Each structure stands twice: as structure tokens, then as C-alpha cells.
Structure 1
Amino acid sequence: MAITLYELVGRDAARPFSPHCWKVRMALRHKGLDFQCATAGFTEIPGLEGGYSKIVPILKDGETLVADSFAIAEYLEDTYPDRPSLFGGEGGRALSRFVESWSQRTIHPALARLAVLDIHDILGEADQAYFRESREKAFGATLEAFVADRAERVAPFLKTLEPLRAIVGRQPFLCGESPLFADYIVFGAFQWARVSSPFQFLPQDDPVALWFERCLALHEGEGAKVPAAA
């Protein structure tokens, strides 16, 4: 039966932007699985699949539903073991957990300080109201104030990428000569910023930017098919 991936979008349904949904989209392509995409805005997620999950991505494979990007990756790995591995073994699975933890605690908060107002601006009207209220409550500041000093935050953020830069500066992907799910985890964060915000923060010759370009070209240019925000 067909696999369906539920993804988060703003006003333009052709521009999925969630970092977590991008992880899964790339994982599906890595596995060589046929799938179709269905889209939802923030306020539509609770109505998907009878209220199955409050978050996306949601994967529907036949009658099976799975939410959470890492849980979906594990499901794909375990359900389709004859397809290319996402982890390269149990050690890779455990290390991918570390990469996810690092990405969500280091990269995601920094990117939010750069792009959160731009994310708000690409949403539909109902989602804008939800997004502003929920994020401003979490941040303790208006969205405008939260990003007001973003230009000054770029240099400190780039310094935090040194562990990633050191690895992808000497090998094509985080996981070696070819990508695994750990690459897609970090790729999802940068794709989130690329699709939702025109703010440029990575120098073109930065090894991280070059790695990101290689990721955009993977799987027949899956990531590059969605143009960068302008």
C-alpha cells in the first residue's frame, strides 16, 4: 500500500519547511521507497488521521501510523531492512541519537533567533496567530524583538558549528563517503532556514555550506527541488 508523509507547510503548500519533516523525506528517498506527501498548517495538524498526533511528520504506511522523525526513521529501518540502511548498524543508530540531541540543542535554537519572524511571515493567517501567540509566550518576547539582533548572532553561531565543520571539511558527509540519517538530521535544520527565510548566514566557502550543497543534490536533488526563500 502507498506510504503517505504528512508535512508542515505555510501559505504555499509546495514549500514544506519543517526540519523534522525534511529528515523523513530524505530518509524515504534514501530507502528508495515510493511515497506521497500530504500537507497541513500548524492549526490543521490536530485533525490529521483522527487526531493521531499533535506534531508532524506523521508517516502512514498501509494501516500503520508513526509520528516523530526519529521514530519514523527507526520504523523504516526495521520494516524495510532489505533497503539501504539509515544507520549502518546499531552503533550508528545510537550515534544518530547524539547528533539529534546536539542539533536540537545547538542548531535549532540558534536558527530560531535568525529566522523565526520570517517563518511567521510565510504562514497562513490562522497559523500566524497561533505561531505568534505560542512562540512569544515561550520566548518571553515579541518575535520582532527576538530577532532584532540577528546580525550580531551570526558569528557566535558559526563558531558553534566547528565540530561539524571539522568533519565535513575532510570527508563528503557527516557519516563518511555517503550520507546516513545523521546527515539528514542536521540537513533538516539548515533546510528549515533555507526554505523559510532569505536571511543569509553561511559563507559560501564554509565547509558546512559545501556539505549542505552536497545534501541538497542528493536523491536527484530532492532538497533543491524546493527553491530557497527570496
Structure 2
Amino acid sequence: MTVLLYDLVGSDPSRPFSPHCWKVAFALAHKGVSFERVPTPFTAVAGVENGRHKTVPVIREGERTVGDSFDIALDLERRYPDRATLFGGPGGEAAARFIERWALLTLHPYLAQAALMDIHDRLSPDDQAHFRKTREARFGKRLEDVPLTRDERRPAFRAGLEPLRATLSFQPFLGGDGPLFADYIVAGAFQWVRVISDYEFLAADDPVRAWLDRCLDLHDGLGRSVPAAA
């Protein structure tokens, strides 16, 4: 049975960009579960599955729906225990929870603000109006003013990646010799801005970039199926 993945898109439905949806896409591929993306712009999210879920990603498998990227990963692990593990056991689930909190608190704030206008510019007009209203309320300033300090803040952002960089000096993936959901959590964040923005978030020689390349090559190049923004 093919799983449906409600996936956030802008004006181009072939370029899904949500970091949380990418986590799920990687997780489905990791489990060997066939899936079909359902392109979902911002203004259509409220109507997904008759409003049963407030955000995407959402997956539908038969009559079942599951929302929230981490809950989806847990559900896949429980439903397909005989396939490649996403966590490697309860300890791996707990560690992935930490990685998710770290990504949301350390990676996402800078990435979201630095790429804000890039996101806006890739949306349809209706979504642009929605995006501007909600994000200006969130940041308390004009949308155009939010990314203005991204250049001066970038060195601190890159320095904050040192725990990730140091870990990858011991092993090719956060999961060890192969990827786990922890890798997809972080890779989803960088895939988000790779798809939506041509800004150089990572230095060319950064080991994190080499790790991201490895992640993009996984599952027959799933991550590379959407070209980088140009």
C-alpha cells in the first residue's frame, strides 16, 4: 500500500521544502515504504484530512492518519519492526528526542530567519500574504528586515555546529556507521534551506557539508531528487 505524505510546497509543487516533511520522507524511504507526495501549500494545510491535523507532515496509510514528524517516525518503527530501524531501540529514541530539541533550538531559528525572504519569494501570492501576516506577527517587524543580519550572525551559527562536526569526526553518521532518524532530523533542516535558498549556510570545506552530501545520496538520491535552489 502506498502511503500519502502531505508535503509543504510553494508555487512549484515539485519542490517540497519543509524540514519536518523531509524528515518523514527520509524515514519512509529508510523503512522501504512506498509513498506519494501530496503537494500542500501553506493556505491548504488547515484543510488536510478535514482539519484533523493542524500542521504537516501528515501521512495517510489506508484509513489511518498520523501527524507530527517524530510521531510518524515512531509509528513507522512500531508498524515495520522487521525493517531497518530508525532508532536502534529505546535509547536511540531518547537520543533522537535530544537531537530534535537541539535542531529546533539551535538550527531552525537562524535558518528560518536567514532564509525568510527566500521562502516568501517562492510562494504563490495567496501564500505570500498568509506568510507575511503570520511571520511579521511572530518576529514583530517587516519581513524584509528579518534577514538583514544574516551575514553577521553566520559565523556564530557555524561555530554552534561544532558538536555536530566533532561527532562526525568519529563516525560517518549521527547513527554511527549508517543513518538513523537523528540524521534525518538534522538533514531535514539543511535540506529545507538547500531547496529554498541559494545562501551559503555552510562553508565548502565544512565536514557537516560532507555529511549532508552523504545524506542526500541515501535511498537512491532521494534528497537530490529536488535540485538545490539557484
* TM-score, length-scaled by structure 1: 0.98
CA distance in 2, matches of 1:43, 1:155: 35
Once the 2 structures are TM-superposed, how far is the Cα of residue 122 of structure 1 from its aligned partner? 0.4
CA distance in 2, matches of 1:2, 1:218: 20
Once the 2 structures are TM-superposed, how far is the Cα of residue 37 of structure 1 from its aligned partner? 1.0
Amino acid at match of 1:131: F
Which shows bigger deviation, 16-25 or 134-143?
134-143
Once the 2 structures are TM-superposed, how far is the Cα of residue 113 of structure 1 from its aligned partner? 2.1
Deviations 1:63-90 (A, max 9, x none): 1100000000000000111111100000
Report if the CA contact (8 A) 1:3-1:34 is conserved: yes
Partner secondary structure for residue 148 of structure 1: helix
Tell me if 1:34 matches 2:60.
Answer: no
- Corresponding position of 2:172: 172
Tell me if 1:50 matches 2:50.
Answer: yes
Partner secondary structure for residue 149 of structure 1: helix
Partner secondary structure for residue 23 of structure 2: helix
- Corresponding position of 2:89: 89
Tell me if 1:113 matches 2:113.
Answer: yes
Report if the CA contact (8 A) 2:8-2:40 is conserved: yes
- Corresponding position of 1:193: 193
- Corresponding position of 1:148: 148
Measured on the aligned residues, the alpha-carbon RMSD in Å equals: 0.8
Once the 2 structures are TM-superposed, how far is the Cα of residue 4 of structure 1 from its aligned partner? 0.6
Unaligned runs of 5+ in 1: none
CA distance in 2, matches of 1:136, 1:156: 24
Pairing 1:187-226 to 2, within 5 Å after superposition: 187-226=187-226
Report if the CA contact (8 A) 1:23-1:69 is conserved: yes
Once the 2 structures are TM-superposed, how far is the Cα of residue 2 of structure 1 from its aligned partner? 2.4
Partner secondary structure for residue 52 of structure 2: coil
- Corresponding position of 2:79: 79
Report if the CA contact (8 A) 1:169-1:208 is conserved: no
CA distance in 2, matches of 1:45, 1:211: 32
Report if the CA contact (8 A) 1:27-1:86 is conserved: yes
CA distance in 2, matches of 1:169, 1:113: 29
Amino acid at match of 1:75: D
CA distance in 2, matches of 1:47, 1:133: 19
CA distance in 2, matches of 1:123, 1:61: 28
Aligned residues: 230
Amino acid at match of 1:192: W
Partner secondary structure for residue 147 of structure 1: helix
Unaligned runs of 5+ in 2: none
Once the 2 structures are TM-superposed, how far is the Cα of residue 49 of structure 1 from its aligned partner? 1.2
Deviations 1:1-59 (A, max 9, x none): 32111100000000000000000000000001111111110100111111111200001
CA distance in 2, matches of 1:2, 1:205: 39
CA distance in 1, matches of 2:91, 2:130: 40
Partner secondary structure for residue 105 of structure 2: helix
Report if the CA contact (8 A) 2:2-2:33 is conserved: no
- Corresponding position of 2:227: 227
